[in-house]
Structure 1
Amino acid sequence: MSNKDIKENISNLSFEEALEELENITQSFEDGDSTLEDAVNLYNKGVLLKKHCEQKLKEAKKKIDEVKINKEDSIEKK
């Protein structure tokens, strides 16, 4: 799978799905059952997954920051 295909697939993942894939990659490294080539490919995919998760967290924080609670405990958008 090309790097472009991997990026496209990752962009369609939710935060939770991407995090689960990162955990699977970590487990694969801990098990030590990958070839060098597979390990490099998994590392590259892990970097892309990490960036995707960071972006999802930034988007969530931005949405939270845009919400304001007024004196009547009603939610307002800033």
Structure 2
Amino acid sequence: MLASMGTLPDIAALSFEEALKALEDVVRKLESGEAPLDESIELYARGDALRAHCQKRLDAAQARIEAIVSDRDGKPVGTRPFDEASA
């Protein structure tokens, strides 16, 4: 089981890059087909949580990018505050 594989970091504390690497590791383990059924189920659940975390980070980054204010020629002239609660 995953618990026996060592202490896994809290997903919420992972950067996008760390979460993506962890997700890639989960996918690799699942695709190998060597994990027992119970471990595969735990891996799948962790992978889904990692995917959701990565998507949330990507959505927040996209919202920040969209917050860039452009002038009438489309050139960035500054930013407006980004409300993270809405992401």
TM-score range relative to shorter protein: 0.7 to 0.9
Gapped runs of 5+ residues in structure 2? 81-87
Deviation at 1:64, TM superposition (A): 0.3
Unaligned runs of 5+ in 1: none
User: Which residue does the alignment assign to 1:44?
Assistant: 45
TM-score, length-scaled by structure 1: 0.80
Q: CA RMSD in A?
A: 2.2
Quick one: distance in 2 between partners of 1:53 and 1:40?
Answer: 20
CA deviation digits over 1:8-66, x for unaligned, max 9? 80001111111111110111011111010100000000110011011001100110010
Structure with more contact order per residue of length (Cα contacts < 8 Å, sep ≥ 6): 1
Greater percentage in helix: 1
TM-score by length of 2: 0.73
In the alignment of these two chains, the number of paired residues is 74
Q: Identity over aligned residues, as a percent?
A: 31
User: Partner residue of 2:83?
Assistant: none
